[in-house]
């Protein structure tokens, strides 16, 4: 199937062709016809599947081909759990709206609230926002959602995990009318909160699961390497950087302190590296991501703040210096490479502190994972053996205990029947002393 077969507007087809996209991905092929038919959608797809265009293309189609319900209110609202993902969606949306009269607004937490209020007065057609900040603007009556035609929740599971349910309910209430179409995308459909929310937001939705979310793209070659300690991880990291040909590299760590320490270490080794973490303010995070995307830096050392939603085509290798606490984050981390048909490498360093996370990832992927040995850097750590659980006792009929026999009473000792002065001594308990004669 080609994009031409989906019935998209010729202006959209021209933009797609200009970007080099030839065939729709699985999620695009399944979702776009459903959305263009005006139906609500509940969909899941694995990372790097082209999910963003799966909802932006039919949203643009609706805006280009149909009349607005309101001249003032936004027609399409896209909600994303993090600022980085919202910015990524906004970037692709700007590509689609270029050359059209339709404006798009990006509304994120941590940025100037009053400036955002001014943007709403310009009546943007599209709004891409994080739920917390948009709910704040709704409280201040800076915008109305009475004329909203399409509500899109990207990574709904992540928004619920981050505690945005109250804000999502408030947004839904403001735009709750029968003409609204709602699309909900989630990393998994096996999420009870997602199921509960979908029941309240969606009207007879079409359910789509494009690819299993616990599997990786075939374009990503993954390796797990055992390590003994921190110095061993450093040696492995140096080897991987030298042994593999790469364009750009993303290194994931557990803490902000490690992002800064490793970035400094890379810089001393001659690489152009920069650190990114959630503790940085929004302007700094935007600057770092923009510089990395433009190729100013070779290496981005980051926490999970950059594990989702970033479409970075030049990232050829991902290294998990520390494994993530949550197994599903592993999929999102390594999904930063192998994008848009490119081949990608993913290395994960597994030390004693990472062993539990490794076993969780193994269970999540439903695979028995093997380890890659690097010549000259093989360590002593081989993992921990699982403790054998005690065998459950059989639940057969309980054996009756034999009744304990009562001890037989001992026979009384035989009395001494010897005679003393012609009297049986055994029957005489005490002999009285005869008084001495005076």
Cβ pair 342, 315 in contact under 8 A = no
Region 61-73: mean pLDDT is 92
199-213, 243-257, 345-359, 420-434 — which is least confidently predicted? 420-434
What pLDDT is stored for residue 36 in this prediction?
94
Among 136-150, 271-285, 370-384, the range of highest mean pLDDT: 136-150
Q: Report the candidate in 387, 357, 352 with the shortest Cα–Cα distance to residue 369.
A: 357
Please state the pTM of the whole predicted model. Answer: 0.63
Give the pLDDT band of residue 124 (cuts 50, 70, 90).
very high
- pLDDT at position 258 over 60: yes
Which whole-number Å values give the CA distances from 74 to 64, 130, 144, in the listed order?
14, 15, 8
**Residue 278 three-state SS:** coil
Domains of the chain: 3-210 (3.40.50.300), 220-365 (3.40.50.300)
Q: What are the b/e assignments for 343-355, b being 16+ CB within 10 Å?
A: ebbbbbbbbeebe
How do residues 212-233 score in pLDDT, each as one tens digit? 555 666 778 899 999 999 999 9
Burial classification of residue 57, based on how many CB atoms lie within 10 Å of its CB (0-12 exposed, 13-18 middle, 19 or more buried): buried
Report pLDDT digits (tens) over 131-146.
999 999 999 999 999 9
């Amino acid at each position: 199937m080609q994009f031409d077969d989906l019935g998209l507007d010729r202006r959209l087809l021209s933009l797609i062709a200009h970007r080099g996209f030839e065939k729709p991905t699985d999620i695009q092929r399944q979702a776009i016809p459903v959305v263009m038919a005006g139906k609500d959608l509940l969909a899941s797809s694995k990372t790097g599947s082209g999910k963003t265009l799966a909802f932006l293309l039919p949203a643009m189609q609706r805006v280009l081909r149909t009349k607005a319900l309101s001249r003032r209110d936004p027609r399409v609202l896209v909600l994303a759990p993090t600022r980085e993902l919202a910015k990524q969606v906004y970037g692709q949306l700007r590509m689609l709206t270029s050359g059209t009269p339709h404006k798009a607004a990006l509304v994120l937490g941590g940025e100037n609230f009053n400036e955002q209020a001014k943007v709403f007065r310009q009546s943007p057609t599209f709004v891409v926002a994080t739920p917390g900040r948009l709910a704040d603007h709704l409280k201040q009556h800076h915008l109305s959602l009475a004329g909203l035609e399409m509500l899109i929740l990207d990574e709904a599971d992540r928004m619920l995990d981050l505690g945005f349910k109250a804000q999502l309910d408030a947004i839904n209430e403001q735009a709750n009318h029968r003409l609204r179409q709602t699309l909900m995308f989630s990393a998994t459909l096996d999420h009870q909160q997602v199921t509960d929310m979908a029941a309240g937001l969606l009207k007879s939705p079409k359910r789509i699961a494009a690819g299993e979310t616990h599997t990786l793209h075939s374009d990503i070659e993954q390796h797990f390497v055992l390590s003994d300690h921190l110095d061993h991880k450093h040696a492995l990291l140096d080897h991987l950087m030298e042994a593999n040909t790469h364009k750009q590299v993303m290194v994931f760590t557990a803490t902000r302190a490690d992002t800064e320490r490793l970035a400094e270490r890379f810089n001393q080794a001659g690489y152009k590296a920069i650190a990114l973490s959630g503790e940085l303010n929004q302007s700094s995070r935007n600057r770092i991501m923009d510089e990395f995307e433009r190729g100013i830096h070779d290496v981005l050392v980051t926490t999970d703040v950059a594990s989702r939603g970033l479409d970075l085509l030049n990232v050829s290798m991902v290294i998990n210096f520390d494994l993530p606490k949550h197994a599903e984050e592993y999929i999102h981390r390594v999904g930063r490479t192998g994008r848009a048909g490119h081949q990608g490498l993913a290395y994960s360093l597994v030390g004693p502190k990472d062993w539990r996370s490794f076993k969780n990832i193994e269970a999540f992927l439903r695979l028995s994972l093997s380890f890659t040995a690097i010549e000259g850097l093989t360590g002593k750590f081989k993992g921990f053996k699982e403790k054998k659980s005690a065998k459950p006792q059989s639940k057969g009929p309980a054996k009756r205990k034999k009744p304990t026999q009562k001890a037989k009473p001992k026979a009384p000792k035989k009395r001494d029947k010897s005679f003393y002065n012609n009297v049986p001594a055994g029957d005489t308990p005490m002999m009285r002393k005869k008084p001495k004669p005076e």
